[in-house]
Amino acid sequence: MSRNLRGNFKLMTYGDDWEIRLQHAISNIRHAKIQLNPFPYFLVEPFLPWDLYHQMTEYWPKDSSFWGQSELSNKNIAHLEANLRRVIIMRDASGFAQNNSEKEFWKNFEILAHSELLLNEIIIKCKKLIVNSRQDLDIDNVSYRMQSILGMDEKGYFLGPHVDASDTVVNLLLFIPYSHSPDSLGTSIYEPKLKLLKNVPRLKESFSGKYFQEKDFKEVSRAPYRPNVLFGMVNSPTAFHGVKRLTDKTVKRRHIQWVISTDNKDIFPSALDKLERGITKNTNLRKIRLEALLKSKNINT
């Protein structure tokens, strides 16, 4: 994307200047303080200009537009509570819009969210930390890709302490709480207890892909689940994090997630593409489960 973004944004009828909004968000990231223990992370508060944040909450897609992760994925997801987190990939958001104003908003927001200027600012901020913590990467020659999804967590959803897959370099969450949401719903930052380290001595040296039990970890800190807070972390074998179980059916955890990775694969496929092909949430989930069952029995499909 060109550094001159003005020609890329379709300004909405009420005259929003999206280039200024992007520069505002970049400036906020630039001035955020990085915490180093137990792994590098940072909070940006506020992240977006407040007028943009409030428009985003006004135009947030209706619940029925979101697909459970297992419903949307093209592969079986091992995480048992996966369908309690429902998502929309960012490029689908405008397609689920209810009117032209919403559609225009999400088209512009997608350009902002995936701009090279934003990606470059995050990488510049984190580069030394990535170099220090990711010896497995050829930093000078790696290509980064940034994707984003809108997410809604429902009662029962949780993530035990884990580190992200090795192809993830930086993970970011923008918290978008409802007015009645407590600020204790943010991401937990963990470090393993000594007993676990004795049992798994190389735990902090590899990307295991495993979800651990909370009892084996100490919660060092928790990101505040407040409006317009961006929580970012540099992924490494020591970057253990998770989210506490949602126990109240009246409270949903709402957010936008950015993933900066070295992998060119999509996080999730497009729900709009599936719907155009006649694939619904239920038919896709049944298909995935059947394929997993046949695979477990060594039957070719």
pLDDT digits (tens, 9 = 90+) for 2-61: 334 444 555 443 345 899 999 999 999 999 999 999 999 999 999 999 999 999 999 999
pLDDT digits (tens, 9 = 90+) for 193-240: 999 999 999 999 999 889 999 999 999 999 999 999 999 999 999 999
Over range 124-134, report the average pLDDT.
Answer: 95
Q: Kindly report the length of the chain.
A: 301
pTM for this entry: 0.89
The beta strands (E) that lie in 154-197 are given as 159-162, 168-175, 188-192
Strand arrangement, sheet containing 188-192: 159-162, 241-243, 188-192, 217-222
Q: Give bridge partners of residue 148 from the DSSP assignment.
A: 258
- Mean per-residue pLDDT over the chain, rounded: 89
Domains (ranges, CATH) in the chain?
53-296 (2.60.120)
pLDDT at res. 83: 83
pLDDT digits (tens, 9 = 90+) for 237-274: 999 999 999 999 999 999 999 999 998 889 999 999 99
Query: 241-243 and 188-192 as β-strands: parallel, antiparallel, unpaired?
Result: antiparallel
pLDDT at position 280 over 60 = yes
Q: Where are the alpha helices (DSSP H) in the chain?
A: 18-30, 50-58, 69-72, 90-93, 100-113, 116-133, 194-199, 271-276, 281-296
